[in-house]
Chain A
Amino acid sequence: MKFQIKRYIAQLLFLISANLGAFGLKTGFCYPFFYCNACPASTSACPLRAIEVGVFNGEFKWKLITYPLFILGTVGVLTGRAVCGWACPIGLLQRTTGKVPIKLKRKYPFLKKIGQHKIESYLRYTKYFVLIGLVVIIPIFIAFMFTDICPVGVLTGTIPILTLNPGLFIPNSFFYIALVIFILFFILIFLVERGWCRYFCPVGAILAPFNKVSFLHIYVDKTKCVYDYKCSLVCPMGIDVPNMNRDPECILCGKCINACVKNAISYRRI
């Protein structure tokens, strides 16, 4: 319990640090998580925007393309996707909405299949297509795409800017498409715990492979495991925890560690 409170505190601190632009702190770093540089209070650049700007129009600006990748890579090698579970403000948002899908599924059994259907494991690959298709390929050949329809941009950029500057802005051609995606985003995170992280987050797609080599990871001692799957039931990413080995989907939130009565699950640093 205390452990999860520590995680809340870490997430809140990262949320605050991501918004120190409100006090004038603007930097040239890229966030190692998913947050929008169009937020009036943002301190740093969205890694996806940096990649989009880097590849835009086929003019490969290698510095801008590799910069966010190396920032995410460094964090990824050290901690894997722990930033998703411990630092990402959108992760915090989904953590706060995370109890709703659980309650809904208890109340309406027909919802149980959502997020647990056999195609679910394939749906997880969607985020790689979003990353490669919308963040890289379309900006190379056509125009910006992901940042034009990004629901997090609506949440952290569009809404605050419209609120702070009433009458100064009007919707552009992508606004209503983005608004629909934003509504779908909210429906998703209210229906599937960590739905955005599971299926669509391109930053998660960049970080996921690093789980395979990260220093910090979740270790399951199979000699102690009684396979009661309590860990899997509490896992916000819907992972088959007893059988996982450095799963790319694991966000190292530690809920499985708390749930395991046999102390078979633990963090490992190497």
Chain B
Amino acid sequence: MKKILAVQITALILISGVLGGMFVFTDVYDEAYSRIVSVICLSCIKLNRVYSIDYEFETANQEPHPEFIIDDLEKGPIFISFRTDVCDYCDYMEPLIKQIFNLSFEKEDVFSKQINFSDTDITFYHINKDHAEAELKTLQPYYDIDGDEAVPMFTIITLEYHQGIILPYYLTFYGILDPNYTDEQRIEEITNNILNAIELYKENRQGFIPEDFKK
């Protein structure tokens, strides 16, 4: 009896002590929340999203576009790729994105870069949410039209005329696009959307007044 009691007490102190230590000294609670609970797990539900692309004017969270996005829009359209460390479909899509933009980077990288695409300057963002600073980490809800912070998520921001003014205009798509696509079709689809965004940008850049969108 005494022996089992000693084992029980030792096990309880050790296990609960380490667990308590994890809560106090590590960010495991936040990590479990941000990596698992707050995102919709497509593999857990065994589903893909129906692929549809619609441009939107209003941000998904009804907030004004962040100022740094408006600043970037002065220079050209924006392409944003959101991912997390552990994400099958991100790993699947990332080589295609690298191929489209002729870029090379690691999956943990968080950066923005001016690149030339079809003779137009584009701001390319690669945001790994597990490594991003607060400003970029909180960018996804602005453009997450489905509202569940799923990854991979890709957003293209350009400009378009709306009721007398030129506004930021964005489209967001998730996952691997249409699951029936081949990789060549995925590349073609994304490229076409970027080219379309460039056309819209060129048509509307003259009427865009960034100051109107800054607080």
Contacts and interface: CB of A to CB of B under 8 A. Distances in A.
A153 B46 CA distance: 8
B16 A169 contact: no
A63 B22 contact: yes
B32 A67 contact: yes
Contacts of A149: 46
A266 interface: no
A143 interface: yes
B44 interface: yes
A161 interface: yes
A74 interface: yes
Interface string B105-141: 0000000000000000000000000000000000000
Given A63-B22, A64-B31, A153 B8 contact: no
Interface stretch (B47-55, B186-194, B200-208): B47-55
Given A74-B15, A175-B46, A63 B8 contact: no
- Residues of B in contact with A, size category: 35 or more
Contact of B179 (A28, A64, A172): A172
Contact of B29 (A29, A167, A174, A214): A29
B72 to A, nearest CB: 30
B165 interface: no
B40 to A, nearest CB: 7
Contacts of A214: 8
Contacts of B37: 26-28, 37, 42-45
Contacts of B49: 168-170
A270 B5 CA distance: 7
A215 B5 CA distance: 8
Contacts of A73: 11, 15, 19
A56 interface: yes
Interface string B13-50: 00110110010001111111111111011111111111
Contacts of B179: 170, 172-173
Interface stretch (A46-54, A83-91, A96-104): A46-54
Nearest to A176: B46
A73 B88 CA distance: 29
Given A213-B8, A214-B8, A174 B46 contact: yes
Nearest to B39: A37
A218 to B, nearest CB: 15
Nearest to B44: A38
A10 interface: no
A171 interface: yes
A237 to B, nearest CB: 22
A155 B46 CA distance: 11
A169 B178 CA distance: 11
A150 interface: yes
B7 interface: yes
A143 B8 contact: no
B47 A161 contact: yes
B103 interface: no
A64 B19 contact: no
A157 interface: yes
A54 B41 CA distance: 15
A56 B44 contact: no
Contact of B46 (A78, A168, A171, A215): A171
The 4 closest A-B pairs by CB, nearest first: A28-B33, A38-B44, A28-B29, A70-B19
Given A44-B37, A53-B35, A162-B47, 18 more contacts: A26-B37, A28-B28, A28-B30, A43-B37, A45-B37, A63-B22, A63-B31, A77-B8, A143-B88, A154-B46, A161-B40, A169-B45, A170-B49, A170-B179, A172-B47, A174-B43, A179-B46, A270-B8
